[in-house]
Structure 1
Amino acid sequence: MLCWEKSSTFGVKSIDIDPIPCYGTTHADYFYGEIPCVRCLTKEEINSAYEENTGHLIVSEFKRMKKDVMAVPAVLCKNHGPFSWGKDAKEAIHNAVVLEEVAKMAYRTELIHPQVAPAPQELQDKHYFRKHGANAYYGQN
C-alpha cells in the first residue's frame, strides 16, 4: 500500500466540515461512509518524529473508529491536510483526486443547503458495494 500526501484547496477547506459526510453517489463509489478528520498532533508529537507520528495518528484513529483503511482510502488531518492511499501509486493518486472532488462537492452542498442530510445508508451501500467486495458487478474489468 502506498500513501500520498496532496496539496488541496477543498480538502483543507473541508477540515471545517469535519468529517466529510457522504452526500451523494460519487462519494459512495469510492469511500464507504464519511471521510474522517483526525486531530492535530500535539506539540510533543510534532517535535519528535513528526512524519512517523502523523502515520501513527492516522492508523490509531482508524482503529478507534473501526474504519477499514481500504474502504476509506483517505483522511484529513487537522492543521495539515489530506492523505490518501491505495494498492499502488496510481490508485493512491486517483484517490487523492477523487477526495478533492468529493470535498469540493461537500463544501458546495453545505454552502447551498446548510441543513442537508447525508445520503441514505442504503444508497451509500448500493453505490459502494456494486464496485467493491465479493459481489461487485459495476465497472469491473
Structure 2
Amino acid sequence: MSDDMIAGNYEYQTGYQIINHFREAGLNHEEVQMILVGNHAPFTWGKDGKQAVYNAAVLEYVAELAFLSEGINPQIERLKASLIKKHYERKHGNNAYYGQQ
C-alpha cells in the first residue's frame, strides 16, 4: 500500500485492496471467507459472528501449519494449482462426489 493510501482513508483502501484481490483472483467471498493482508492482521467473515470467529481460528491454525512446514523444509513448494482445484471441486464443484450425502 502506498504512503498516500496509508495517510488517506486507510480502512477504505485496505477494503479496496481486498475486494480488488478477490476480483483479480476470481475468488468468491462466500466461498473464501478469510484473507491475509500484508503488514496487517488477518480478515475473516461469515454468515454471522460465530462463523467469522471460527474462520479466524481456522486461519490461525493453517498459518501455524505453514510456519511449521517451512521450519521443517525451508524449500517447501506451494501445492500445484491443479491439486488445489481437484480438492476443492471434488467437495464443492458441480460434480462433487467426496463427502457428499
* TM-score between the two structures when normalised by the length of structure 2: 0.76
- The structure number with the bigger radius of gyration is 2
Larger relative contact order (Cα-Cα within 8 Å, sequence gap ≥ 6): 1
Offset, 1:91: 1.6
Deviations 1:74-96 (Å, cap 9, x if unpaired)?
Answer: 11111112111222222211111
Residue in 1 that maps onto 2:75: 115
| Count of matched residue positions in the alignment of Structure 1 and Structure 2 | 100
Match of 1:77 among 37, 51, 55: 37
Residue in 2 that maps onto 1:138: 99
Query: Where does the alignment leave 5 or more consecutive residues of structure 2 unmatched?
Result: none
Deviations 1:65-114 (Å, cap 9, x if unpaired)?
Answer: 22222332211111112111222222211111101000000111011012
Between the aligned partners of 1:122 and 1:78, the Cα distance in structure 2 is 26
Between the aligned partners of 2:92 and 2:48, the Cα distance in structure 1 is 17
Amino acid in the other structure paired with 1:77: V
Residue in 2 that maps onto 1:36: none
RMSD: 2.4
Would you tell me which structure has more strand in proportion to its own residues? 1
Residue in 1 that maps onto 2:66: 106
Query: Where does the alignment leave 5 or more consecutive residues of structure 1 unmatched?
Result: 1-40
